[in-house]
A = this chain, B = another copy of it.
Amino acid sequence: MGETRRRNGVETRAEILRVALDLFTTQGYESTSLRQISDELGIQKASLYYYFPGKEDIVRPGFAARGSEAQTLLEWAKAQPAAPDLLRRTVLRWVDTFSVEKLRGIRFVNANPTLMRTIALDSSAAIRDPLEGLVALLGDSYLGADRVLLRMAFLSINAAAAAAAAGTPDQEIVAAARRASLAILDALSVA
C-alpha cells in the first residue's frame, strides 16, 4: 500500500498487526518473515522493527487485549447485583465486543495450532482463565449438559468460525454466533 498517505504511529501499528496476522494465518507463522511483512506493507524493515522487534511481539498484543477484555468482563460481572438476566447480558458482552478481532485471533490459532503449545500458551491462558471464572461465577447452578451448553454460549464465535465456509463475511459469522448464543441460553434448563 506504500506510504503516500502520512500515517501516525497508532495507525501504522494497527496496520502492521492486521497484515502480519493475515500472513501468519494464510501461510503459517513459521513460514512468514519480518522481511515479508515489511514488503507487504511497503515500509522499511527498520520501521517494522521500531514497532515490533520480533514476530512474537506482533502476536502477543492481540492475546493480551482479549485477555484483558475477559478479565474486565469478569470484574464487571462480579460487581453486578444478582439478576435473572445477568448471564445473558454477560454472554452478549463477550460475543458483541471486538468480535472481528476475536475472529482474527481464532483463525490465527486454528492455522497455527502447535504454536499455541509453545510461545503463546501463557497468552492463551490469559483469555481462558477469566472465561473459566465467568463460567464458575454465573454457571454455578448449571450442571452436566447445562454446564457444557453455558460454555458453548460463551464460545459461539469460535464455533461459528469453525463451521462457516471459507470466505463467509465476518459480519455473517458474528451474527450467527450471537443468535446461536441466545438460542443456547434459551435452551438452558431453568437454574
Q: Identify the A interface with B (CB < 8 A).
A: 113-114, 144-149, 151-152, 154-155, 158-160, 162-165, 168, 172-173, 175-176, 179-180, 182-184, 186-187
Contact = CB atoms under 8 A, between A and B. Distances in A.
Contacts of A146: 176
Task: Please classify the interface of chain A as helix (H, G, I), strand (E, B), loop, or mixed, using the class held by over half of its residues.
Answer: helix
Given A148-B163, A163-B151, A184 B175 contact: no
Contact of A182 (B145, B158, B182, B187): B187
Number of copies: 2
Contacts of A175: 144-145, 148
Contact of A159 (B162, B165, B183): B162
Given A180-B184, A184-B183, A148 B168 contact: yes
